Structure 1
């Protein structure tokens, strides 16, 4: 890393761009009608976004372009690893839940780590869109953005894919499991 914590060196940028381009070209069905040159031009103009993508990659997320934000026209990168990213598992939902745990606290929370990475947790809708592109979380599960009314009551929601169906479940926000992580979204 360079002196700026949220900026990659030139060689790190180049290496990451090569990985992202190779994944983009290997999975063209995820981003029909999008050209890599357009994606790279936006990434080159926003080095902090590259830093966030590097964080997604380093934690096992295998980020890839999955489409365009209909309102802003930004490219959407989602974690496309087959299972919930390994480097982002065993976290409770958010900081409030982390603080309420008295024993066996996890290292962090999904919401905190996503914010530190400069990404957002997938919403349930985004998670279901991702599942249209392949079969994800067949052995793991991923926290998703929890509606305020559920969170106010102490709960949080997560999704997975079982029996060829995408399920939305609930748990206490302070719970955490070795097979539950979170998937993120980055708009570029």
Structure 2
């Protein structure tokens, strides 16, 4: 009988330039599985061959049988651990494991407009102001990781209490949220102010 020169296997996960037996990955990203034979001398052809298994295959949108590529589905919760196993098809008792931990992608999770000092915003999102007021609106943002973003402020026309456009507008600084209201606003006039992520087509916004 041929002596089993296959002593073991080693499994590493490769994600971008990172490679290891335990790696972190964002959802929606690709990785690949790299298996190595641990053997004495030359490994005969018939002893070659491996298969890859994942304990949470339902969380993968792609899982190539040869380990060349797998992809974690979007929306998998941060902190989730996936264990990959490589088994020798020659001797199934020979296996190796590697783990992937899902980490949260840097992002702007939520965005709200914050009232300046002396003002308050109601549950319905209404801030009461007076004609000619001058103030600076601020944002309350929940950010994950080292995500950086710039606000972009804008406002639509001033509408009167009956919901008709007055054709007038307020002055608002797109970068700072500084607002100057015209002196000739009437009681019941409204204007909608929006802040969104600068130059992000489908970024977060609040108004």
The reply to whether TM is greater than 0.5 is: no
Name the TM-score, length of structure 2 as normaliser: 0.19
Query: Higher strand share goes to which structure?
Result: 2
Name the TM-score, length of structure 1 as normaliser: 0.20
The one of the two structures with greater contact order (alpha-carbon pairs below 8 A, sep at least 6) is 1
Query: Higher helix share goes to which structure?
Result: 1
